[in-house]
Amino acid sequence: MRDIEYSINKTYTVNAYDFDVVNERLVNFEIGLGSLEVTGDPTSTDVFVVDSHYSDSWGEPIITQEYSNQRLSIFFSQKDNHSFGFPQSPDYHVDLGATDIQSSFIFDVGAGSATVDVESLTIDTITAKVGLGSFEINLPRSIRGSIALDVGLGSAKISIPDTSGFKVKYSVGAGQLAIDGNDVATIGSDGVYTLNDYDGSTSTIDFTIDVGLGSVSVERMVNSENDFKGGELQ
């Protein structure tokens, strides 16, 4: 007989006032199953708030933190203590306040899904690895560092403001890479896609994208008042 699974809701908060000074924030997410939603909250001073919904046998969040040299690192993973049967799929909603803190993210998405909106945050670097799952992210106009994306069998969608210049260095196996709805890579190809006015843009984003059998889409959120700018392959 299968054990009864109880639905559990839990909130965990990390506040900037708990530390002397926080100038940098690193958040590392590991999601095997379930859904993750991450949003920036300009009205909040909380560095990290997660609302979790999970069963008693799967998905309890494991959250640890480290603080050193004005840098706060937060590590988010899932506890797996079920022994048989099909566990209830957990879901997590994460709010990130203190939006002026320089922030970096690492996402490891197995068979789950992650939807991320960091348009209001100050971003340094983002690294994402997607296995069988899905990953969607909305980015701000400019990023200090770069974005690295590795997609196996899953899918990823990246949305950026149309005012940003960007460059994509890519490697595609048997999968697909599309930019603004157009396929830019053939099977088994490596290359670089550059927005025509990349060098003249005051806000730029650099991507490194590796695609196995899955698919990646990069789309600009075009403002009707702006002229659409194409790109070129190198």
- pLDDT tens for 47-87 read 999 999 998 777 889 999 999 999 999 999 998 755 455 55
pLDDT at res. 87: 58
| Closest of 12, 102, 8 to residue 58, by C-alpha | 8
Percent of the chain with pLDDT over 70: 88
pLDDT at res. 217: 97
Task: Between 203 and 224, name the one with better pLDDT.
Answer: 203
Task: Between 201 and 174, name the one with better pLDDT.
Answer: 174
pLDDT at res. 1: 34
**Domain residue limits, the chain:** 8-82+89-138, 141-234
What is the helix (H) or strand (E) element at residue 189, kind and residue range?
Answer: strand 189-195
Q: Which long-range contacts (CB under 8 A, 24 or more apart) does 18-23 make?
A: 19/67, 19/72, 20/70, 21/70, 22/47, 22/67, 22/70, 22/71, 22/72, 22/98, 22/101, 23/70, 23/71, 23/101, 23/102
Question: 6-15, 37-46, 196-205 — which one is most confidently predicted on average?
Answer: 37-46
Task: Between 145 and 104, name the one with better pLDDT.
Answer: 104
Could you tell me if 147 and 218 are in contact, meaning their C-beta atoms sit under 8 angstroms apart? no
Measured distance CA(165)–CA(196) in Å, rounded: 8
